[in-house]
Structure 1
Amino acid sequence: MILTDIHTHTKFSADGRGDIRDMIETALAKGISYYGISEHVNYDYTEQGIEIEGETENEINIPLYFQTARALQEEYRGRLHLLIGCEFGFHDGPFCFREYQKIIDSFHPDFVVNSIHTCMGEECYFPEYTRGKEKRDAYNAYFQAVLASLDAPYPYDIVAHIGYCSRNAVYADPKIRYEDFSEILDRILYRIVEKDKILEINTSSKTAGSPFLPDTDILRRYYEMGGRKVSYASDAHDPSRIMEKRDIVVAALKKIGFSCLSVPDCGKILQIEI
């Protein structure tokens, strides 16, 4: 069995807790063949003036990250297929578009994860995003942002963690159900299929009411619409969470009908049988 975990973070990211070599060694010890590091680049924070504890969260030293990661990529070649990528926080603004394209042109990441972390000038991860808002309003605004992100003018490979806004939502029932948001979810899923992107299954679901994001009802609809490209992501920020709940994801995918996981690699998409 070929194991993959695409979309993880190290201490190069502002919220990462694992040393990059420790993360790679853990991936190797767990038998992973394709391991992706996708450090946060949060120009969405910068453009909107969002601060967390007085900082913009965009502290990554991009040149040092790529220099370090590329050296490790060579060191581990033959033992581990190490993919060096970025997670771009989307915001519909010229500063983000320009700066993300500069990174692509200068450093040529092996893959790019396209994410929505902010909506209406707020970070969606924190309870404050949903506090004082009706669930339908908060989630619909987030989904509209996801839809807009699919037309990002820079190249990307993966659409990340759909349902991110539910991770720490304050609602008694934070779970996102396809039937409750079918119209906007259909538009999102259709665009992912149309643009031939990879839909990520992210196991960092926190208290979202689902074991992974998006949940099986949304994945089933994606499959019905012809979507076949899915990636597994632990979204680990420390070594302990690498490969978390992968068996649960694979079992759910097989039940729906999926037979492969997708791995983006320098413009190509590898299909790895599950």
Structure 2
Amino acid sequence: MSAIELLDARKVYRDREGADLVALERTRMTIETGEFLCLLGPSGCGKSTLLNLIAGFEAPTSGEIRVAGQRVERPGADRGVVFQQPTLMPWLTVLDNVAFHLKLKGVAKAERRERAQHYVDLVGLRGFERHYPAELSGGMSQRVGIARALLMNPAVILMDEPFAALDAQTKSEMQEELVAIWERVKATVIFVTHAVDEALVLGTRIAVMSRRPGRIREILPFDASRPRDVTAPDFNDMKRHVLGLIREGSARLKQAA
């Protein structure tokens, strides 16, 4: 069974004048269990909208989305979400931020801290358990957000440009760390980005989206060895192909205008 199925999913919003704004056109796509799919496209093309539909934060205007064969109608513990900003609670320590949803479920303090510690270790934050968010760098804060999502043991992890605000060096380190975590936990990952290099460093497949209204223009498998070498011929061949798709889409949009 596929991890995720998009069955003609479409999303339309209403603007202030009452006119329809199509954010996402009818989209059909299957995402297999354990793959790392990168959603790549320009700002405003519907990447985050698509992620929110899979997460269950919003409902499609038409069509449907299934996770593990079940129709998505609301958020669920089978889908962990990592946002662009980690939205940590400033009054809680790293360990308690990671363990917070266990507290809401009534799990005893000793058990939830033991379980949280495993994921704190997994994201490389051992030694920072008692630190507060104000004492963390941007990259460390995102590690907390990732650990918090992993603690739910989701089958699917949805990531909405989580490294966009990081400097280049930290971003590179976080990309390597994320791949290592993905290889260990075996979850299905959907990662939103507008950076071609990032998509190619991370993804097993890259779904290239058009400008609004968002459509999947092409889905490209990419099985280059890891860690990915950004100077390698296969990497740069794929990069040229992806950039060509993006430029072609921009040219069509200008012609239509």
Classify the TM-score, shorter chain.
Answer: 0.3 to 0.5
Normalised to the residue count of structure 2, the TM-score between the two structures is: 0.39
Normalised to the residue count of structure 1, the TM-score between the two structures is: 0.37
Q: Which has the higher contact order (CA 8 A, sep 6+)?
A: 2
Q: Which has the larger strand fraction?
A: 2
